[in-house]
Structures are given as structure tokens and as C-alpha cells.
Amino acid sequence: MTGIFGLMLAFAFAKTKSLYLPFGLHLGWNIFNIVIFSNGPLRQQVLIKANENKPEGLISLFIFLFQIFALPILVYWYLRYLKKQDINTQKKEAL
């Protein structure tokens, strides 16, 4: 999962030629993990196990797949949005 996240950050930098998007993605992912999945300095958060039971079966699979695919999909959508805006800007400049 760490490798995929690193590739996603590198891809975001390569497409935007800026560190703003990779920095924002990393910061956003950290904040998301602290608020949703943490039992750290903010006390118990939304998705904390309350006992020794661990997710199994489909719930465990869903959590795993969410962690692997959610952020890269969001980056892909954002980069497509940037590309559309760039194309629209070029069309306006051509007129």
C-alpha cells in the first residue's frame, strides 16, 4: 500500500509539475486517517474497534480495497478535471 501511495504521489507531481497536489493529498490522507481511523491525540474516533473483534470476510475486504483504490481514483478524477480546464482555456485563447 505504501508503494502504491508513493506512485500516486509521483504521478500527481509528474502531471501537475507542482508539489501542491502531492502535498495536499498526503496531508488530506493523514487528516482522514487521524479523524476516522485513529485512537490517538483526538481520543476515540469514528471507526475504532471497541473490543477485540476484528473485521472479517467482506467487511475486511471492503476496508482493504478502499485503502488501496480510493485515493488513486480521486487523484485520477482531479487530474482529468485539470486537463478539461486546460483544454477549455486553450479553446478560449484560440478564439
Share of the chain above pLDDT 70, in %: 79
Q: List the one residue out of 72, 64, 84 whose CA is nearest residue 25.
A: 72
Cα gap 31→39, rounded to integer Å: 13
Tally of domains in the chain: 1
Predicted confidence (pLDDT) per residue in 39-77, tens digit:
556 565 556 555 566 777 888 888 888 878 887 888 888
What's the confidence (pLDDT) of residue 13?
92
**Model pTM above 0.75:** no
What's the confidence (pLDDT) of residue 46?
59
Domain that holds residue 37: 2-94
Residue 29 has pLDDT above 70, yes or no: yes
Cα gap 24→9, rounded to integer Å: 10
Question: Could you tell me the pLDDT band of residue 20, with boundaries at 50, 70 and 90?
Answer: very high
